[in-house]
Each structure stands twice: as C-alpha cells, then as structure tokens.
Amino acid sequence: NAGVTQTPKFQVLKTGQSMTLQCAQDMNHEYMSWYRQDPGMGLRLIHYSVGAGITDQGEVPNGYNVSRSTTEDFPLRLLSAAPSQTSVYFCASKLAGVRYGELFFGEGSRLTVL
C-alpha cells in the first residue's frame, strides 16, 4: 500500500518558471489537500478538494492552482514561481465524511526558487 505519493522530492526553479507538483493516493480518499511548511511556522493549507471536480482555497492560495479530475490525483501548479514560494510542500488525504478520520501525509516536495 503506497499511501500518498509526491513527486518530485526536490526541485529548483528560477523566478518566473512554472511547474507542477504531483500527488497521488491509492486509498480511495475523497479529501485531498496541499500544505506548505516554512521554518518557524505551522503547516498552512493552500488548496483542498473533497472529491473529483471540487476544489477550494485554503489559507494561502495565491500563486497556486489545483484541479481534481480523478479521485487519485491532486496536482499543485505554480504559475510563475517566486522566491517566497521556496518551501516544503506536503500533500495529504483522508476519507471525507469520516468525522475523526486520520490525515495521511506524503513525504514532501522541497522546492527552491532562485
């Protein structure tokens, strides 16, 4: 059981470049989300989805796009990378409608924007 898989693990971008962080889960979880983790700060929600075709903004959505065409995949797109987007990104998933369901995290994608 692979759980939540993120790719790539490491990425270096130049300012203005675009890229997509991939997230896939094999647990048939309806809920998927993206967080960023910065030093000295808690995990902050970027975007989330409660099912295919449904997405919503979290706390820090600016500069990021998401889509959910399948239950399994939830890619995060950086449209025009900025140094402020240098961070570690985590994808997480859980069963929707399960009130106390556990949130499962991927291993993270470390992004550096020069």
**Which residue ranges make up the site for another protein (CB under 8 A)?**
4, 31, 33, 40-45, 48, 50, 58-59, 90, 92, 96, 99-100, 102-108
CB of residue 18 to another protein, shortest distance in Å: 25
CA distance 4 to 17: 26
Nearer to another protein, 28 or 42 (CB): 42
CB of residue 100 to another protein, shortest distance in Å: 5
CA distance 29 to 74: 11
Between β-strands 10-13 and 109-113, what pairing exists: parallel, antiparallel or unpaired?
Answer: parallel
Nearer to another protein, 106 or 111 (CB): 106
The DSSP 8-state label assigned to residue 104 in this structure reads E
Dig out the tokens for 37 from the structure: 């983790």
Nearer to another protein, 4 or 111 (CB): 4
Locus of tokens 């990104």:
89
CB of residue 24 to another protein, shortest distance in Å: 14
